[in-house]
Chains A and B, each alone.
Chain A
């Protein structure tokens, strides 16, 4: 009887110990049990899709709960800023445009991530391209975001269409228009309907205004990145009322003639869908079309897509006279074959930042989530999936061709795609996106509105230029010309 009691006691102690140990083991593996993080980004499917998918994996690994909140792109900037500055702090972290750091960091809402990144070996920080580490992640010498995406705009073309038309990929915007004109109105996907020569997102209050700067770049900036493409770096006067801008407007409007009838109401998601369904011969986009085109479920143009660095121009802006003049060795030192290319690092790439007012545990969890998503193994997979909206930004993404062939690219196709991005990334004449206070007002409000009115025929080119000029000047004057000038100059001095 006594023996039975001792046995029962020992069995009880053993069971209790086993339960405690099991809990401990589980606790060690799930370090964020009970921690919820609210992450804000824009209405997907891009960005929100990988965030949700990787968020679920992260939940299983760490016990954290990742609550993804999405808003339309046009609302994202103000949602982040008003939520944090009014003390609401509903969001612990955000995935947003790194340009906006110019407003968010001075507003004091962003957590400095420098120390965390230095202590984090898994993130392999030096594997992230130097440009993205500087432009997308850093501000004022400190690191505030973790890059999840690398953004350059390029021109995509249908290889089979160009072959049939006996044309070469566009080197200049005149080439682009000529191809678009030749291809427009013919059936290129065999559905019996006439297709389009060019598909460019032109919807207002969306992500369209970057496309215009992609066209403008080759006309306005020729002497290297530090020359700047938006303002005169000495006077902070807008580089708007000149022949380069007028020519870019002309090209921009002419592309509409070879586009879908409702092109003015199409966002990038729409044009990507049209291109991958075989309805467009040309398009301007970030890296997304390249990876969407290899998706066998949605694409009708697999292995029929090529990509080139943004077309350029043989004539560039003479800033003293405001006129377009032919390229010379001194005027266009980076030109190739007499053509000045100025690839545009539009947007900079979606990046994750953390709210300084988030709870410490939520900050830790949000950092761990972004670090996980950006890690070479995870991001190496995501940048090859079209729907993620993520494009290559790590050295390993560019060097490891197997990532891309495994995803469905042909080896030649992968080389062309990555080559176009690398050519943009390595260009000494790359255009850096505007990263000064109120950049969202300059671009998403003033520029976007004037461009959409111009495309709709409400105003002519001169009125569009006058409107952008006065709108930009008004913001500059309100913010302080000297302050804005210093911010602009500082943004252009970024080492790449």
Chain B
């Protein structure tokens, strides 16, 4: 129960010595009474100053167009014009891609719709509420699926959205798989394990720009350090930069090389925390290595895995340095991520479009992370 105001003023006077002045006593009293506020204020100021205000500032920036005249910058408020340009205007194909028509797209969407309808029906039967939200979510999933699938039809164009999703999902899957494999190897008591633990960690310590330059040299088939190898394989005349998918995979390999150690170290730590008795008990019970992994080890790894995947996916959405240095976003716009798209827009002083892209990415990551955290994370932790 909160103490009355007058009482609080008397508390410090009992604690202060006779030599202390009355204003000082008042200050102590006020501090005592407002201790919560005083302790929170610095953090609040920091968050407001470094997170909220810049966020609001960039939201405003996404609604303006900058002009330069008379040695000054003029900010013209254009409402949602920058978003319209991205979603419906001249930047639409660049951002969302251009779709193609194919029967398999509609068949896949049909089955996906059936799956969603079945899920909704189950929710309804279980008496769980939020039907309207579920319907809205289902429609969004279908729209999103169309946005991805229709861009995979030959002759269509992938936008920076789909390219980013490719980096996020393919990259995270590869990094997780490789990281798990390496962690399992290092968890075995094999000779040289300690040495390889350090070696596997090295890519994480290298700056992404350095990695990008390194991969740029490695993938140069005509004069890079691997040129003799490429020549021996008959690939000297081949250039991955001429092929959109070749370039995307080059970026993906570089990203995987850099971030697999992160998955490796997290999973290794999780592996080492598994009680040995349970693994030994499984062995005594006659479990195969696969069964031991599937029913003993993997459930222990799930909580760490869920968090790891979430972190890597959020980071993956923001990928920029590797495609910028390695391919300069090319060929064409094939390897351009959303962040790189925003950077190129900013670099040409289209600041409004750059901010609009940043905000669209923020919404995308927030929605994705929220859905992941609410739907998958509790299950992975055994709470669902």
| Residues of A bordering B, CB below 8 Å | 74-75, 77-78, 81-82, 84-86, 103, 106-109, 203-205, 260-265, 356-357, 440-441, 444-446, 449, 452-459, 463, 467, 470-471, 474, 478
Interface of chain B residues 27 through 70 with chain A (CB within 8 A): 65, 68-70
Which of the candidate stretches B266-274, B287-295, B306-314, B329-337 sits at the interface with the other chain? B329-337
A205-B344 contact, Cβ under 8 Å, with A85-B68, A452-B332, A455-B332: yes
Number of chain B residues close to chain A: CB under 8 A = 37
Interface of chain B residues 305 through 351 with chain A (CB within 8 A): 327-334, 344, 347-350
One of A456, A470, A471 near B330 (C-beta < 8 A)? A456
One of B68, B328, B329 near A81 (C-beta < 8 A)? B68
Cα distance A439–B238 when bound, in Å? 36
Most buried by B among A78, A440, A456: A456
Interface residue SS majority, chain A: helix
Contacts of B275 in A (CB 8 A): none
Residue of chain B at shortest CB distance from A89: B71
Residue of chain B at shortest CB distance from A78: B349
Beyond the given A75-B347, A82-B349, A458-B158, please list 8 additional residue pairs across the A-B interface where CB-CB is below 8 A: A85-B72, A109-B71, A205-B344, A261-B222, A449-B94, A459-B332, A471-B90, A474-B89
- Quick check: B70 and A107 within 8 Å, CB to CB? yes
Contacts of A108 in B (CB 8 A): 69-72
- Quick check: B71 and A84 within 8 Å, CB to CB? yes
Residue of chain B at shortest CB distance from A356: B71
Cα distance A453–B331 when bound, in Å? 7
Which of the candidate stretches B137-145, B176-184, B239-247 sits at the interface with the other chain? B239-247
Residue of chain A at shortest CB distance from B65: A478
Residue of chain B at shortest CB distance from A103: B68
One of A82, A85, A262, A457 near B241 (C-beta < 8 A)? A262
Kindly state whether residue B9 has any CB partner on chain A within 8 Å.
no
Contacts of A452 in B (CB 8 A): 330-333
Residue of chain A at shortest CB distance from B155: A460
Cα distance A75–B343 when bound, in Å? 11
Q: How many pairs, one residue from A and one from B, have CB atoms within 8 Å of each other in the complex?
A: 119
Residue of chain A at shortest CB distance from B331: A456
Residue of chain B at shortest CB distance from A449: B333
Query: How far in angstroms is the closest Cβ of chain A from B329?
Result: 7
Contacts of A107 in B (CB 8 A): 68-71
- Quick check: A106 and B333 within 8 Å, CB to CB? no
- Quick check: A204 and B68 within 8 Å, CB to CB? no
Interface of chain B residues 331 through 381 with chain A (CB within 8 A): 331-334, 344, 347-350
Kindly state whether residue B211 has any CB partner on chain A within 8 Å.
no
- Quick check: B71 and A445 within 8 Å, CB to CB? no
Residue of chain A at shortest CB distance from B221: A261
Contacts of A446 in B (CB 8 A): 90
Residue of chain A at shortest CB distance from B70: A108
Query: How far in angstroms is the closest Cβ of chain B from A234?
Result: 23
- Quick check: B348 and A444 within 8 Å, CB to CB? yes
Cα distance A338–B337 when bound, in Å? 48
Cα distance A84–B350 when bound, in Å? 17
A262-B242 contact, Cβ under 8 Å, with A78-B348, A107-B69: yes
- Quick check: A458 and B332 within 8 Å, CB to CB? yes
Kindly state whether residue B85 has any CB partner on chain A within 8 Å.
yes
One of B70, B221, B244, B348 near A457 (C-beta < 8 A)? B244
Cα distance A57–B333 when bound, in Å? 44
Query: How far in angstroms is the closest Cβ of chain A from B271?
Result: 42
- Quick check: A264 and B349 within 8 Å, CB to CB? no
Contacts of A471 in B (CB 8 A): 90
Residue of chain B at shortest CB distance from A106: B69
A260-B222 contact, Cβ under 8 Å, with A357-B71, A440-B348, A456-B334: yes
- Quick check: A205 and B329 within 8 Å, CB to CB? yes
Contacts of B334 in A (CB 8 A): 456, 458
- Quick check: B331 and A74 within 8 Å, CB to CB? no
Cα distance A420–B73 when bound, in Å? 43
Query: How far in angstroms is the closest Cβ of chain A from B40?
Result: 35
Cα distance A81–B351 when bound, in Å? 13
One of B68, B98, B158, B222 near A463 (C-beta < 8 A)? B98
Query: How far in angstroms is the closest Cβ of chain B from A45?
Result: 19
Query: How far in angstroms is the closest Cβ of chain A from B155?
Result: 8
Contacts of B71 in A (CB 8 A): 84-85, 107-109, 356-357
Most buried by A among B242, B329, B332, B347: B332
Kindly state whether residue B93 has any CB partner on chain A within 8 Å.
yes
Residue of chain B at shortest CB distance from A79: B347
Cα distance A366–B222 when bound, in Å? 44
Most buried by B among A81, A103, A205: A205
One of B222, B244, B348 near A458 (C-beta < 8 A)? B244
A455-B331 contact, Cβ under 8 Å, with A445-B348, A449-B94, A478-B65: yes
A458-B333 contact, Cβ under 8 Å, with A262-B220, A449-B94, A470-B90: yes
Residue of chain A at shortest CB distance from B238: A261
Contacts of A454 in B (CB 8 A): 332
Cα distance A84–B333 when bound, in Å? 31
- Quick check: A81 and B349 within 8 Å, CB to CB? yes
Contacts of B239 in A (CB 8 A): 260-262, 264-265
Cα distance A470–B92 when bound, in Å? 11
Contacts of A264 in B (CB 8 A): 239, 241-242, 330-331
